[in-house]
């Protein structure tokens, strides 16, 4: 009560008393007193904080006005600040530093190198939580990062924007020739497959084929890729999901060395992600791509064999709203049965069926 009366005497609050002045019914805080009270308590006036944060966001936004997705991100922060919302991002400008550095990358860099560029610390991007924060912005449909495809893994998305991890490789089986510097390599003798790391992909290019390739097949799952026998007229490519920019650049050379009439096939999971991956490869690499063992009949056969798993409710709406193109029959079968099929499940079901026969 002594403190209340002191503040009232200074004109910083207005008090409505009760019980003959021994207790307080209500305290009114005049707007004009907020700044003085904040100074008295050593805290920032919330109105001044909003103004300061808006100025900081506008400063970070100014150099990226020609980048639509990043401009949209900053505009959304400013909109929330103007509406009086508490926005935490301006309190951590290192996130803005990551985003603004990201769009300056002219060539892909390793994740730890990117961390050094931004922080002069090779581990802070990952260990400080900025990797997750950047990914959250890139995935947010409100901003529309153009290289994001729903279903991409974090590593695939980072690769799409130029940040490489050490796990990025390309694998294939088949009679392909490629050149790196002055060296010509022929993979036809590698019957069990060939693997190029990210650095080799950066410097190599496809130079030809040592045999007549009639079929190119991209395979989403490693298990099925490994189980495919070598065939001299077929090029099997393990796509693991969404190809990275380096993989797309390297594989784009295929069309220049293959004869006309080659079949381009894709074998993937019969689910929402599998449909998106098929569409991504068709749109970005092989326009003639057709699905392999992914129609409604194949799906129903897989379900009969016991390879189905339950469709998640969070995915059902997204699947229902997507344009599945030539895989619409598969889409409708998934929605009708409430099941999906992963390639590994199909292989396991085939093995179980063989065991029961034996």
Q: 44: pLDDT confidence band, cut at 50, 70 and 90?
A: low
Per-residue pLDDT tens over the stretch 10-27: 888 888 888 888 899 998
8 burial level (CB within 10 Å; 0-12, 13-18, 19+): middle
Residue 33 has pLDDT above 80, yes or no: no
Highest mean pLDDT among 9-23, 59-73, 181-195, 242-256: 59-73
Secondary structure class of 26 (helix, strand, coil): strand
Q: Are strands 163-164 and 339-341 parallel, antiparallel or unpaired?
A: unpaired
- So where are the chain's domains? 2-41, 48-164, 169-357
Q: If we measure between CA atoms, which residue out of 117, 127, 138, 209 comes closest to residue 172?
A: 209
Chain Cα centroid distance, residue 30 = 48
Long-range contacts for 25-31 (Cβ within 8 Å, ≥24 apart)? Answer: none
Pairing of strands 215-219, 23-28: unpaired
Give pLDDT tens digits for 148-170. 888 888 888 998 888 987 667 89
The pLDDT assigned to 280 comes to 93
Q: Round to whole Å and give the CA distance between 299 and 332.
A: 11
pLDDT of residue 357: 44
User: Hey, which bits of the chain come out as E strands?
Assistant: 14-18, 23-28, 109-110, 163-164, 169-173, 176-180, 183-186, 194-197, 204-209, 215-219, 234-238, 263-267, 290-291, 308-310, 339-341
Residue reference for tokens 């994740």: 111
153 backbone dihedrals φ, ψ, rounded to 5° = -75, 165
Q: Name the CATH topology of 169-357.
A: Dna Topoisomerase Vi A Subunit; Chain: A, domain 2 (3.40.1360)
Residue of 107, 137, 106, 105 lying closest to 118 (CA atoms): 105
pLDDT at 347: 61
Would you place residue 350 in the very low, low, confident or very high pLDDT band (cuts 50, 70, 90)?
Answer: low
Distance of alpha carbon 93 from alpha carbon 128, whole angstroms: 13
Are 289 and 265 a contacting pair, CB within 8 Å?
yes
pLDDT digits (tens, 9 = 90+) for 290-313: 999 899 999 998 888 887 889 988
DSSP code at position 89: G
- Which segments of 111-246 are extended strands (E)? 163-164, 169-173, 176-180, 183-186, 194-197, 204-209, 215-219, 234-238
Per the prediction, the chain carries an average pLDDT of 87
Residue 58's Cβ-count burial label (10 Å; 0-12, 13-18, 19+) is middle
Q: What is the mean pLDDT of residues 236-240?
A: 91
| pTM of the predicted protein model | 0.69
Is the model's pLDDT at 356 over the cut of 60?
Answer: no
- For the segment 203-224, the average pLDDT, to the nearest whole number, is 88
172 and 194 Cβ atoms separated by less than 8 Å:
yes
- What is the pLDDT confidence band of residue 134, given thresholds at 50, 70 and 90? very high
> Measured between alpha carbons, how far is 151 from 159 in angstroms, rounded to an integer?
14
Judged against a pLDDT cut of 80, whether residue 343 lies above it is answered with: no
Say if residue 180's pLDDT is above 70: yes
C-alpha–C-alpha distance, residues 230 and 187, integer Å = 12
pLDDT digits (tens, 9 = 90+) for 58-117: 999 999 999 999 999 999 999 999 998 888 888 889 999 999 999 998 888 888 889 989
């Amino acid at each position: 009560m002594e403190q209340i009366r002191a503040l009232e005497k200074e004109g910083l609050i207005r008090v409505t008393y009760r019980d003959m002045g021994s207790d307080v019914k209500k305290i009114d805080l005049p707007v004009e007193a907020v700044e003085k009270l904040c100074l008295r308590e050593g805290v920032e006036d919330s109105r001044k904080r909003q103004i300061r944060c808006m100025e900081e966001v506008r400063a970070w936004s100014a150099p990226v006005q020609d980048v639509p997705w990043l401009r949209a991100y900053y505009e959304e922060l400013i909109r929330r600040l103007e509406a009086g919302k508490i926005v935490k991002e301006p309190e951590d400008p290192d996130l803005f530093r990551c985003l603004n550095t990201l769009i300056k990358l002219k060539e892909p860099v390793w994740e730890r190198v990117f961390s050094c560029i931004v922080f002069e610390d090779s581990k802070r991007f990952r260990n400080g939580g900025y990797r997750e924060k950047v990914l959250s912005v890139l995935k947010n449909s409100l901003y529309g990062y153009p290289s994001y495809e729903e279903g991409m893994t974090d590593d695939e998305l980072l690769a799409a924007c130029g940040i490489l991890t050490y796990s990025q490789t390309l694998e294939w089986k088949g009679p392909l020739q490629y050149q790196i510097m002055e060296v010509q390599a022929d993979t036809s003798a590698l019957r069990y497959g060939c693997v190029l790391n990210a650095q080799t992909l950066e410097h190599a290019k496809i130079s030809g084929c040592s045999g007549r390739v009639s079929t190119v097949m991209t395979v989403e799952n490693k298990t099925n890729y490994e189980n495919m026998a070598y065939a001299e007229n077929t090029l099997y490519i393990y796509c693991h999901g969404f190809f990275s920019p380096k993989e797309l650049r390297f594989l784009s050379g295929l069309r220049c060395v293959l004869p006309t009439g080659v079949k381009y096939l894709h074998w993937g999971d019969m689910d929402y992600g599998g449909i998106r991956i098929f569409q991504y490869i068709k749109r970005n690499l092989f326009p003639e791509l057709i699905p392999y063992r992914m129609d409604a009949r194949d799906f129903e056969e897989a379900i009969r064999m016991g390879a189905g798993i339950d469709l998640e409710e969070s995915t059902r709406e997204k699947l229902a709203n997507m344009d599945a193109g030539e895989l619409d029959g598969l889409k409708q079968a998934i929605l009708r049965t409430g099941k999906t099929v992963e390639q590994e499940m199909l292989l396991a079901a085939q093995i179980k069926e063989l065991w029961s026969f034996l």
